[in-house]
Amino acid sequence: MSLDRLVGADRDRSGCDLGPLAGFTVAVTAERRREELAALLERRGARVVCAPVMRTAPLPDDAPLLAATRACLAEPLDIAVATTGIGFRSWMEAAEGWGLGEQLAARLASATLLTRGPKARGAVRAAGLTDAWSPASESSAEILDHLLARDIRGRRIAVQLNGEPLAEFVRALRDAGAEVIAVPVYRWALPEDVAAAQRLVGQVMARQVDAVTFTSAPAAVGLLLVSAHLGKKEALLDALRGDVVAACVGPVTAGPLTRYDVPTLQPSRARLAALVRTIVDHLPRRGRAVRVAGRLLEVRGHAVVIDGELTPLAPAPMGVLRALARRPGYVVPRAELLQSLPGRGVDGHALEMAVARLRAGLGDARLVRTVTKRGYRLACEPARRP
């Protein structure tokens, strides 16, 4: 039975509507706008784990930014590209500190200003400037296509970098004959405290999160770097290739994961609200609904919904329930159920404790049957051979 048909009828123990993501855990890796993304997910019922895996940091030396600014002032600019709001603001503030603020503003005002998205557009307008165009996708790739569709030979183009060199972007413009000034404003770095990111790696490996959200390519790179430092990169990738959804705001963000053959979930538009809608549409479809002893059990990420009541479960009993629900009514051998338990060195006693906790959580011991010397099964008639 598909869970998405049942979402609208969900009720929690207090009689309130359950959100479509109730019972699912979603990780937020973003540094900027993480509160906004977390709030959007929580309003839809998700349990949210916040673990920033990258941060913006000042350049170790202002000399490259000062040199790029002077290059922009040396001759008129034809086109300027603002890729991020924080980057554009920081550039203008730095120029002001060097006594070059008015000159830079005048130079940019005489150029055609392109902004990658609403944050960059807001920063440009806050500086008293007017942008000429923004891509609907909010992606650098669409800006590049827009520029390459024009004759840019001999044009002077300033590109405010977004913490990365944007090497392919810059190279493509230069290959088309443009003179490009790359403006480095900040850099990406791992968090000063990587504990939360390290915990997230463990949670993904243990399948304790159902989806991980990425709103920038550096965030995807950062999680891979943290896992590599822990010696767990392959285990992390294995989880992301299977049980844990990698939800990316767009194809550029997904790039570092795609290179490792990680399937990604992406919205049609590169915006936070669209990303959340895509997750809402996808995650409930991964659940399972089973009728057991006349009761409806909906198996979700970290919880089970029993006749419309949400009951969170600990990882061990949740793992057992998932394994049983994959083959409702059939006996699942003890050896197979042991594999569903988190951690190493689990034994028969750990399995018995997990089953006992599962029965207690379900509130009805009859829902899980013991089959002596073989294993356990859900108390329902098997519909077909597994």
Looking at the structure, do residues 265 and 195 belong to the same domain, yes or no?
Answer: yes
Looking at the structure, do residues 166 and 226 belong to the same domain, yes or no?
Answer: no
Q: Is residue 125 part of a domain?
A: yes
Percent of the chain with pLDDT over 70: 94
Looking at the structure, do residues 112 and 178 belong to the same domain, yes or no?
Answer: yes
Looking at residue 7, its pLDDT comes to 35
Q: Is residue 312 part of a domain?
A: yes
Model pTM score: 0.80
Q: Where does a domain end: 134, 153, 188?
A: 188
Tell me: pLDDT of 370 over 50: yes
The whole-chain average pLDDT of the chain stands at 91
Looking at residue 250, its pLDDT comes to 87
pLDDT digits 0-9 by tens, 315-340: 999 999 999 999 999 999 999 999 88
pLDDT digits 0-9 by tens, 70-124: 999 999 999 999 999 999 999 999 999 999 999 999 999 999 999 998 889 999 9
Give dist(CA 352, CA 358) in Å, integer: 10
Rg (CA), the chain: 26
How are the residues of the chain apportioned to helix, strand and coil, as percentages rounded to the nearest 5? Answer: 45, 20, 35
Looking at residue 125, its pLDDT comes to 97
Looking at the structure, do residues 268 and 357 belong to the same domain, yes or no?
Answer: no
Query: Which residues sit opposite 290 in a β-bridge?
Result: 297
Q: How far is CA 65 from CA 4, 119, 179, 220, 361, in A?
A: 51, 21, 17, 26, 59
Q: Where does a domain end: 258, 286, 314?
A: 286
Q: Is residue 243 part of a domain?
A: yes
What are the structure tokens assigned to 303, written together? 């919880």
Tell me: pLDDT of 190 over 50: yes
Pairing outcome for strands 332-333 and 375-378: antiparallel
Looking at the structure, do residues 84 and 177 belong to the same domain, yes or no?
Answer: yes
Give dist(CA 111, CA 72) in Å, integer: 11
Looking at residue 137, its pLDDT comes to 77
pLDDT digits 0-9 by tens, 40-67: 999 999 999 999 999 999 999 999 999 9
Write out the residue range of the structural domain in which residue 89 sits. 57-188
Please report which confidence band the pLDDT of residue 143 belongs to, taking 50, 70 and 90 as the band edges. very high
Looking at residue 4, its pLDDT comes to 37
Total of domains in the chain: 3
Tell me: pLDDT of 14 over 50: no
Q: Where does a domain end: 251, 286, 321?
A: 286
Q: How far is CA 385 from CA 28, 166, 371, 381, in A?
A: 39, 53, 18, 11
The mean-pLDDT minimum among 9-23, 224-238, 320-334 falls in 9-23
Q: Is residue 258 part of a domain?
A: yes
Looking at the structure, do residues 159 and 235 belong to the same domain, yes or no?
Answer: no
Nearest to 125 by CA among 89, 94, 163: 89
Looking at residue 296, its pLDDT comes to 92
Looking at the structure, do residues 304 and 258 belong to the same domain, yes or no?
Answer: no
Instruction: Give, rounded to a whole angstrom, the gap between the first and last alpha carbons of the chain.
Output: 15
Q: Is residue 269 part of a domain?
A: yes
Looking at the structure, do residues 74 and 175 belong to the same domain, yes or no?
Answer: yes
Looking at residue 383, its pLDDT comes to 66
Say which CATH number the domain at 220 has. 3.40.50.10090
Q: Is residue 385 part of a domain?
A: no
Looking at the structure, do residues 281 and 292 belong to the same domain, yes or no?
Answer: no
Looking at the structure, do residues 195 and 120 belong to the same domain, yes or no?
Answer: no
Please report which confidence band the pLDDT of residue 5 belongs to, taking 50, 70 and 90 as the band edges. very low
Q: Is residue 366 part of a domain?
A: yes
Pairing outcome for strands 303-306 and 375-378: unpaired
